Amino acid sequence: MLNDSSAYFSINHPFDVYLQACDSGQPLPSVEQLSFMLPPSLQLISDIKVLESDCLLQLRHLDDDAKTVVEFLKLQSRKIDMVLQHIIAKEEYEGHHYIGSHFGGSSIRITANEAITVGNQFKVNLNIKEELVALLCFATVKNCALITTAAEGAPQAFSVELAFSVIQDADVEQLVKASLSLQQKQLKLRKLAP
């Protein structure tokens, strides 16, 4: 479980979120129990990401002569990522679909058409397609604020922050890596902009 002292950097980037309300009378699962709740597709993606991460650490120790091998492995990894993105797109998730606006290693922020009560707990399926992150966790609503818009007649929307309550360490690591990767991409695009 995370606490307030484990706050991470958060990045502004759209992603898909599915929230399923938890029964307030039931305790949240432990991290160990959470791993048994993963559907086969999410377990597959998680396993591949761990294997890939371990392999990349070992490749960093190779000398310059191995660049061709590294490029070949990157190509193979990209092909696997494309297949996994297809699997994620076909997955059906329980709960209500929302568009996320910010994510990091300790929380997410979504946009909702109606207010969500602070303190409510949800089972969360989170998908960040560009970084091939698909995970299951539990989160608690920490803040819900009306988004003010300048346009008259615009439908009301709420910014809802959910802090992770139960999440696997490997998933936190995935979110942190994805936020850093997307930040680098955003910085490169800013440099290219006139």
Quote the pLDDT of residue 1.
45
More reliable by pLDDT, 190 or 89: 190
Domain ranges of the chain: 8-22+30-192
The mean pLDDT value for 56-83 works out to 72
Lowest mean pLDDT among 22-31, 47-56, 90-99: 47-56
At 63, is the pLDDT very low, low, confident or very high (cuts 50, 70, 90)? low
Quote the pLDDT of residue 51.
76
Q: Which of 35-39, 56-60, 103-107 has the highest mean pLDDT?
A: 103-107
- Cβ density class 26-44: b for 16+ within 10 Å, e for less: eeebeeeebeeebeeebee
Q: What is the DSSP secondary-structure string of 91-117?
A: ----SEEEEEEEEESSEEEEEESS---
The mean pLDDT value for 115-138 works out to 93
Residue 150 sits at φ, ψ, to 5 deg, of: -80, -25
More reliable by pLDDT, 134 or 18: 18
Percentage of the residues of the chain whose pLDDT score is greater than 90: 45
pTM beyond cutoff 0.75: yes
SS3 3: coil
Mean pLDDT across the chain:
85
State the architecture of 8-22+30-192 in CATH terms: Beta Barrel (2.40)
pLDDT of 135-185, one tens digit each? Answer: 999 999 999 999 987 677 777 899 999 999 999 998 999 899 999 999 988
SS3 21: strand
Rounded distance between C-alpha atoms, residue 44 and residue 56, angstroms: 18
pLDDT at 56 over 90: no
